[in-house]
Amino acid sequence: MTENIHMANTLSDVPAKPIIFSGIQPSGNLTIGNYLGAIKSWIRFLEEYNCIYCIVDMHAITVRQVPADLRRHTYELLALYLAAGLDPQKCTLFVQSHVPAHAQLAWILDCYTMFGELSRMTQFKDKSAKNADNINAGLFTYPSLMAADILLYQADLVPVGEDQRQHIELSRDIANRFNGIYGDVFKVPDGFIPKVEAGAKIMSLSDPEKKMSKSDTGFGSVRILDSRDEILKKFKRAVTDCDSVVQYKEGKAGINNLMNIYACFTGKDHAVIEREFDGRGYGDFKLAVGEVVADALAPLQEEFRRLMADKGYLESVMRQGAETASHLAAKTLRKVYKKVGFAGV
Ligand code: ATP
Ligand code: LTN
């Protein structure tokens, strides 16, 4: 046996794969921002990590949802995960409310999260402004539920878009605080945020200073399930500037955003794109971006429709995922119950 090669004698000797956890709220039709910032990077991890991807329906109700829509969006999100290439044989896919340990750990972590910390969260401030008539306690404590999601699975890495950076940092602070009191209970997770040109922050087509968001209506958000026609129309209307040169430059937020989208879907870098559209106007460029997006999404949409016609299959994936997730989550929750002093554990 060569000395520097680790030989596994039993299964427990095989080094465990690092763990990935991430989630998306079933709060509307997914945008290409969700796809590029989150799902696309999740797929890359399937082989080398133990991946757990969740549909965070409990997070979604921090904003008022129509029950029938929430239910439909949950099935749709699972079908999109699958259609995008998240193979349930290679990762765990489940719905947050199917695993009660998330709510149970969230309550405990609430007691280790400071009012001041939660008050500084920009997502809370943004969503309070957007939902001024419903600034509920769940919207405020949302980050400790997110910390519970991640810490329950002892996740090493959490792939998210740029807007979630602050929540990941708070999850790390909560984990460190808890570990500081009780010893090493939680793995302190790292965030994985793609570069901006790789899709970490796709901006709205109607207001390129604002993040593209699935809960926004209007032409600013391009949906994964939009028809080819809708996609082309939205890109045609995209807000740009009064210049006419396709160039990645400060002050050209609209064009920069379109270049990032084009780069993500074609794999071309900014310099190549600038050369490709040298001497051509914005009109040509917008049409080309719309076309690559529509072409890339077409097979995914077809697979989505096929999966949505088979509810039984979607439910079996959810059920299996919840079983695996519950088993993993129970281990951490039990440890936490013991540490904080709950009797009879
Ligand atoms: P909502 O409008 O309901 O708040 P959202 O579109 O912001 O929804 P989330 O469910 O909060 O989407 O986010 C799911 C994932 O998609 C997260 O990892 C988030 O960082 C990422 N994401 C959301 N919007 C964008 C965007 N515009 N660009 C890149 N990534 C994004
Ligand atoms: N807060 C995230 C969604 C989310 C999440 C998570 C992401 C909830 N729990 C755990 C990563 C890991 C959002 O609004 N995008």
The three-state DSSP-derived secondary structure of 167-186 is HHHHHHHHHHHHHHHHCCCC
- Which CB contacts under 8 angstroms, 24+ apart, belong to 299-304? 300/80, 300/83, 300/84, 300/224, 301/83, 301/224, 301/225, 303/82, 303/83, 304/76, 304/79, 304/80, 304/83, 304/225
> Is the pLDDT reported for residue 209 higher than 80?
yes
Instruction: Choose one of 25, 74, 81, 163 to mutate for the ligand 1 pocket test, by most ligand atoms within 8 angstroms of C-beta.
Output: 163
Question: Does 140 lie in the same domain as 275?
Answer: no
pLDDT digits (tens, 9 = 90+) for 192-206: 998 888 898 999 999
**Does one domain contain both 106 and 140?**
yes
Arithmetic mean of pLDDT, 299-322: 98
Measured from the CA of 163, which atom of ligand 2 is nearest? 15
* CATH of residue 57: 3.40.50.620
Does the pLDDT at position 16 exceed 90? Answer: no
Using 50, 70 and 90 to split pLDDT, how confident is the model at 3? very low
pLDDT for res 12: 57
Residue 273: CATH number of its domain: 1.10.240.10
Decide if 212 contacts 33 (C-beta within 8 A). Answer: yes
Q: How far is the CA of 150 from the centre of ligand 1 (A)?
A: 17
**67 and 143, same domain (yes or no):** yes
User: Domain check: are 280 and 140 in the same one?
Assistant: no
The pLDDT of residue 6 is 44
Within-domain flag for 215: no
The preferred substitution site among 56, 74, 97, 154 for testing ligand 2, maximizing ligand atoms within 8 Å of CB, is 56
Q: Give a yes or no: residue 17 inside a domain.
A: yes
> Beta partners for 234?
none
Classify 331 as helix, strand or coil. helix
Residues 191, 258 within the same domain: no
List the catalytic residues.
Answer: 127, 211, 214
pLDDT in tens, 221-261: 999 999 999 999 999 999 999 899 999 999 999 999 999 99
Determine, yes or no, domain membership for 273. Answer: yes
pLDDT digits (tens, 9 = 90+) for 60-91: 999 999 999 999 999 999 999 999 999 999 99
**Is the pLDDT confidence value at 116 over 90?**
yes
Q: How many domains does the chain have?
A: 2
Segment 20-33, tens digit of pLDDT: 999 999 998 999 99
Residues 318 and 292 reside in one and the same domain: no
**pLDDT, tens digit, for every residue of 95-115?**
999 999 999 999 999 999 999
From the CB of residue 76, how many other CB atoms can be counted at a distance below 10 Å?
Answer: 23
User: Do both 242 and 291 map to the same domain?
Assistant: yes
271/325 same-domain check = no
Question: What pLDDT is recorded for position 278?
Answer: 95
Looking at residue 212, what is its pLDDT?
A: 96
List b or e across 82-98, with b for residues whose CB sees 16 or more CB atoms inside 10 angstroms: bbbebebeebbbbbbbb
Residue 176 lies in a domain: yes
pLDDT at 218 over 70: yes
Of 54, 55, 126, 46, nearest in space to 86 by CA: 46
pLDDT band of 152, cuts 50, 70, 90: very high
Q: Quick one: 245 and 142 in the same domain?
A: no
Q: 171 C-alpha to center of ligand 2: Å?
A: 11
Percent of the chain with pLDDT over 70: 96
Residues 6+ apart with CB under 8 A from 12: none
Give burial (CB, 10 Å; 0-12/13-18/19+) of 336.
buried
pLDDT range class, residue 11, cuts 50, 70, 90: low
- Whether residue 92 is found in the same domain as residue 39: yes
Residue 197: per-residue pLDDT: 86
What's the helix, strand, coil split of the chain in %, to 5?
55, 10, 35
Average pLDDT for 315-328: 98
Q: Which domain holds residue 302?
A: 228-306
Residue 281 covered by a domain: yes
In a domain, 40, yes or no: yes
Do 171 and 275 share a domain, yes or no? no
In angstroms, what is the span from residue 158 Cα to ligand 1's centroid? 14
345 found inside a domain: no
The atom of ligand 1 lying closest to the CA of 30 is 6
Looking at the fold, whether 15 and 84 belong to one and the same domain comes out as: yes
Residue 1 placed within a domain? no
Atom of ligand 1 nearest to the CA of 31: 6
Report whether 333 contacts 301 (CB < 8 A): no
Q: Which of 45, 153, 139, 141 is nearest to 96 (CA)?
A: 153
